[in-house]
Structure 1
Amino acid sequence: MRLPRGAGLGRLAAGALRSSQQHVCVSGRAAASMAEEAKKLAAYAAVDNHVQNNQVVGVGSGSTIVYAVDRLAERVRQEKLNIVCVPTSFQARQLILQHGLTLSDLDRHPELDVAIDGADEVDAELTLIKGGGGCLTQEKIVAGCAKHFIVIADYRKDSKALGQQWKKGVPIEVIPMAYVPISRTIAKRFGGEANLRMAVSKAGPVVTDNSNFILDWKFEHAQNWKEVNTAIKMIPGVVETGLFVRMAERAYFGMEDGSVQFRDAPIN
């Protein structure tokens, strides 16, 4: 039976579309795999270069820190290290316990030798945006208690200026009753908009480990981040910001070619 004119073309087009979709899917998987390997490389470099025997280590949160804890546990077993770990979140606490590492807290160990954590974005001066996972307050507390704060990330997180790569804004943890006036104040004083972060798998807003809400401030242009960070923290009801200014000592970046690059904070 003869096909109507154009019918075969439609079938070929559909086949070409499926082929294109499969190519995009494979490319996406390859990119994701490359990024995961880059995270692992950065994490291993940081743990190998900055963790020594008889240290108290702050353990950050997020996907990159999983590899750091893997490597930390491996070194503890192989080298018989005496390491105490202080978590920045419930997730970090569970990672520490799952790997059989010694868990502690800031009550028992208020001063840490080193803290290792990821970042959503790192600029040329090692100013960070953190809090994409919602743990910014505890992450900043732990980092502030450490003699050395080391950042680990993949190549996608490296920027010349904040906002270049990370488009979701600066996370700001706030007391729930104050989120509307805080949002209005930030938009009025600094431009852009600060939106309440909504949960994905449940109805309602994201609730932090501290039972607070998070605003994501999408700023319009580069700012003096030190001044802005201080000013936002002075707004009544703000608990903490995801701006980490002059805190990180060094950042490790796992690169696409399998190498690891690092950048030190400028000397002030």
Structure 2
Amino acid sequence: MAGKQKQAAEALSTIEGAKKQAAIRAVEEHFDPASHKIVGIGSGTTIIYVVEAIKERGGSEHIRFVPTGFQSRQAIVKAGLTPMPFDSLAEGQLLDVCFDGADEVDDELNCIKGGGACLFQEKLVATKSKKFVCVADYRKLQPRLLTNWPSIPVEIAPIAMTSVLHALKRLGSIDPIVREGHIAKAGPLKTDQDFFIIDAPFKPLLTEADVAAGKQGNGKDGIWEVSALAHRIKLIQGVLDVGLFEGANGFEVAARGEHAGGQKPVAAYFGMENGEVLKRTAKSSKLGDKPAPPQ
């Protein structure tokens, strides 16, 4: 038993170290305390290290930080940074950058998010940011979504729970369930919007490259391409949002002349087991990217 406990502790230490190294590198390359005015801060355990790295860089007294939920706001305040509510943004104002984690990221930088139940606010902030930068550890790096992560989080109105469950099954979801709170007798988990989360398992999702190569991702036999499934789920009455971050990234949206951000990250940083950091961008989003040495 003692041996197993030691192994578990060592594995946890490796994971936390990987998160920290990824956060340091991402902040170093995408946070500019001299020019940035508004920065988005996502949710999850990895983001704690992002906030620490931002604090270490200094010069952030004039910067406002927009949280994606209660937990991220607490992290901002604890670090002595200044939070700013999302709905305080001026008309047409974009965040300089948004840092957030992910539950899984595929070859094309599509993400599954919502394991922490903040997916709606995370998507609000990402799509109001000039660039979304993803920070994660090596476990989240997979060729296709739903390889290791078991399900897609879907935020729904409580009154629509039964009808949405039925609709997800018709799309091919395998036993979708309403996420319970930490204490089962307290009932379903509530998001910051007082909505429920349905965790909907599907078969591994295809990428655009898979479809271009001739594979069918239109839902036949329960097989979907990422964006096709995201759009179909969003059309279900009662769904607030779906934890698939797909489509264009912020740079691509800007290149189209639109004044908005994108759901996908412009770059993703993965802390690896050996202490290195693997950076993947839209132009170099393959598993063979060369990791950067540890800091």
TM-score range for the pair, normalised by the shorter chain length: 0.7 to 0.9
1:259 corresponding residue in structure 2: 276
* Equivalent residues of 1:75, 1:81 under 8 A apart: no
Deviation readout 1:181-208 (Å, 9 max, x if unpaired): 1011111123322210011235200000
CA separation in 1, counterparts of 2:35 and 2:86? Answer: 17
Assess, with a 3 A threshold, how the Cα gap between structure 1 residues 212 and 258 changes in structure 2: closer, same or farther. same
Structure 1 SS opposite 2:87: coil
Deviation readout 1:57-97 (Å, 9 max, x if unpaired): 10000000000001111212xx4663221000011111111
* Equivalent residues of 1:182, 1:235 under 8 A apart: yes
Assess, with a 3 A threshold, how the Cα gap between structure 1 residues 80 and 197 changes in structure 2: closer, same or farther. closer
Structure 2 SS opposite 1:64: helix
Structure 2 SS opposite 1:214: strand
Assess, with a 3 A threshold, how the Cα gap between structure 1 residues 171 and 80 changes in structure 2: closer, same or farther. closer
1:29 corresponding residue in structure 2: 9
CA separation in 1, counterparts of 2:8 and 2:281? Answer: 32
Q: In structure 2, what residue type is equivalent to 1:32?
A: L
1:54 corresponding residue in structure 2: 35
Unaligned runs of 5+ in 2: 206-223, 248-263, 285-295
CA separation in 2, counterparts of 1:54 and 1:94? Answer: 24
Mapping of residues 100-249 of structure 1, within 5 Å: 100-109=80-89, 110-167=93-150, 169-201=151-183, 203-222=186-205, 223-246=224-247, 247-249=264-266
Deviation readout 1:212-248 (Å, 9 max, x if unpaired): 0000001134221111101110111000000000321
Aligned residues: 244
Assess, with a 3 A threshold, how the Cα gap between structure 1 residues 146 and 26 changes in structure 2: closer, same or farther. same
CA separation in 2, counterparts of 1:231 and 1:264? Answer: 27
* Equivalent residues of 2:39, 2:97 under 8 A apart: yes
Structure 1 runs of 4+ off > 4 angstroms? none
CA separation in 2, counterparts of 1:81 and 1:264? Answer: 30
* Equivalent residues of 1:54, 1:83 under 8 A apart: no
1:12 corresponding residue in structure 2: none
Larger helix percent: 1
* Equivalent residues of 1:125, 1:266 under 8 A apart: no
TM-score normalized with structure 2 length: 0.80
Structure 2 SS opposite 1:193: coil
Identical positions, percent: 41
Q: CA deviation at 1:157?
A: 0.6
RMSD: 1.4
TM-score normalized with structure 1 length: 0.87
Larger strand percent: 1
Q: In structure 2, what residue type is equivalent to 1:264?
A: T
Unaligned runs of 5+ in 1: 1-20
Q: In structure 2, what residue type is equivalent to 1:225?
A: V
Q: CA deviation at 1:266?
A: 4.3
Deviation readout 1:126-149 (Å, 9 max, x if unpaired): 010000000000001000000010
